[in-house]
Chain A
Amino acid sequence: AQTVTQSQPEMSVQEAETVTLSCTYDTSESDYYLFWYKQPPSRQMILVIRQEAYKQQNATENRFSVNFQKAAKSFSLKISDSQLGDAAMYFCAYRYGGSQGNLIFGKGTKLSVKP
C-alpha cells in the first residue's frame, strides 16, 4: 500500500527567509503524481505545486519549488522569501497514475512565519 510521511509536525521560518518541508512516500508504482497542498485557517485546501514522476525536472511555481528524488522517494517543498500569508498547514499527497488513483495524504506540517 502507498503511504506518505511528513516527519515535521511543525516548522517555523522568519519572514523573507527560506524553509524546506520534508515528505517521503512509499510505492511500488513507477507512474504517479505528487502534490503539495496548503490549508490556511480558512480550511480550504489549495494546490501549491505538482510533480509528475516521469519528469526529472523539479517543478517550480514562483517562490515554491520541489526537490524530487525518485530513487529516494523523497519530495520536499522549498518556500523562498517566506511571507506571512504562507503560514498554514502543508500536506504532501500522492496519486497513482492508474484509473483508481485517489489522493493519499501525509499528516501535514504546520508552518509558522515570524515577522
Chain B
Amino acid sequence: ETGVTQTPRHLVMGMTNKKSLKCEQHLGHNAMYWYKQSAKKPLELMFVYNFKEQTENNSVPSRFSPECPNSSHLFLHLHTLQPEDSALYLCASSQELRVRVNTEAFFGQGTRLTVV
C-alpha cells in the first residue's frame, strides 16, 4: 500500500465547476508537492510546501489554488479550468527540504483530470 494517497482517482469537470483534489501521506514527511503530468511532456512541478509553508509556486495560473492545512494533507482547489488543464496530477512527499538531505520523493497514484 502506498504511503501517499490521492483522491479521487478520476475526475471529470466542466469549465465552470469548482472541485478539489486531495492528497494524504502517512510517512511522517514534512515536504509535499503537486506535479502536473501531461502527455509527451516532462512532469511539471506546480507547488511545494515545506512544514506547511509554501516555498514554491512555479508560475501556476490562479485557477489552481493549493492548500496545506498540516504536514500530512495537501489540497489542490480547482475553479474555471480550461480543457488544456486536463492531465494527471501527482502528489508527492519527501522528508523535508534541507541542505544535503538526500530525500527521495514518494508519489501517489495521481488524479486523472478531464476538463470538458
Q: Give the residues from 24 to 83 in chain A that come closer than 8 angstroms, CB to CB, to chain B.
A: 31, 33, 35, 37, 42-47, 50, 52
A contact residues, range: 20 to 34
Do the beta carbons of B100 and A31 come within 8 Å of each other?
yes
The reply to whether A101 and B97 contact each other, CB–CB distance below 8 Å, is: yes
Q: Which of A4, A43, A105, A106 has the largest number of chain B CB atoms within 10 A?
A: A43
Main secondary structure of the interface of B (DSSP, over half): loop
Q: Cα distance A44–B93 when bound, in Å?
A: 13
Q: Is the CB of A98 within 8 A of B99?
A: yes
Cβ of B43 and Cβ of A91 under 8 Å apart?
yes
Determine the chain A residues whose CB is within 8 A of the CB of B45 once the complex forms. Answer: 102-104
In whole angstroms, how far apart are the Cα atoms of A50 and B107 in the complex?
15
Binding site for A on B (CB under 8 A): 2, 33, 40-43, 45, 48, 55-56, 88, 90, 92, 97-100, 102, 104-110, 112
